[in-house]
Amino acid sequence: MKAILETNYGYLFEPELLAEITRVGVYKKIGQGHQLMDIGEPITMMPLLLTGAIKILREDDEGDELLLYFLETGDTCAMTFSCCMGKNKSEIRAVAETETELVLIPIENMEIWMGRYKSWQQFILDSYHTRMMELLETVDTLAFLRMDERLLKHLQDKAKVNHDDLVHTTHQDIAFDMHTSRVVVSRLLKKLENEGKIKMHRNQIKVLDL
């Protein structure tokens, strides 16, 4: 774990901090599709992504989901930070998009390190900022883009976090993430295929326009 930690965070954190992370952090490997955080659950640990990707979802009162953004290697969830400052309930759901390796850090350490390590403080603030920007981008997408543009963007995002232009998913899953119906996804996908932007196969879609 120390080796992967250094590869991904070595340039960010000083050796003492890395050593502390190794000491208190709990290494965890999560299989694809497994849930690692649900809405309403208390937050006690903060995740540092080593490999893989995690999708962050919001849920409405009817239980329908909507994808907010992806977390990738080197990312952390800034929501954790705001949660440990006040109320300790999660507002979101986190599901492993791919097989994911991460280190869990107790939130107590998070607060202590804020004062002790300049690099940690910087990291948290940066992370908070990027999360905010990603949120704004999804708001823009929802508000201003048409369904077909949203769909293409979603596929491109998926291809990106998986590091593979062959996206392994079903129309129904996409519809779920985008909070629309499967029929609509099927029709728009066919349109995108005719436009030469993607190529469809059963259970997988090749993204050509990246």
Partner DNA sequence: ACATTAAGTGATT
Partner DNA sequence: AATCACTTAATGT
**Interaction site with DNA (CB under 7 A):** 146-148, 170-172, 179-184, 186-190, 200, 202-203
Which is nearer to DNA, 48 or 178 (by Cβ)? 178
Give the count of alpha carbons within 13 A of 59, CB side only. 14
Instruction: State the minimum distance, in angstroms, from the CB of residue 203 to DNA.
Output: 5
Which is nearer to DNA, 28 or 58 (by Cβ)? 58
* H-type alpha helices, 145-181: 147-162, 171-178
Which is nearer to DNA, 107 or 152 (by Cβ)? 152
Instruction: State the minimum distance, in angstroms, from the CB of residue 30 to DNA.
Output: 21
Instruction: State the minimum distance, in angstroms, from the CB of residue 179 to DNA.
Output: 7
Which is nearer to DNA, 23 or 146 (by Cβ)? 146
Rounded to 10 degrees, the C-alpha dihedral 162/166/171/175 comes to 30
Which is nearer to DNA, 50 or 192 (by Cβ)? 192
Cα separation, 175 vs 179, whole angstroms: 6
Instruction: State the minimum distance, in angstroms, from the CB of residue 124 to DNA.
Output: 36
Which is nearer to DNA, 104 or 184 (by Cβ)? 184
Task: With beta carbons less than 8 A apart as the criterion, state whether 207 and 159 touch.
Answer: yes
Q: Residue holding tokens 């050593």?
A: 19
If you ran DSSP here, which 8-state letter would residue 43 be given? P
Distance from first CA to last CA of the chain, Å, rounded? 33
Cα separation, 14 vs 2, whole angstroms: 14
Sheet holding 35-37, edge to edge: 35-37, 93-96, 54-59, 65-71
Instruction: State the minimum distance, in angstroms, from the CB of residue 110 to DNA.
Output: 38
Instruction: State the minimum distance, in angstroms, from the CB of residue 164 to DNA.
Output: 16
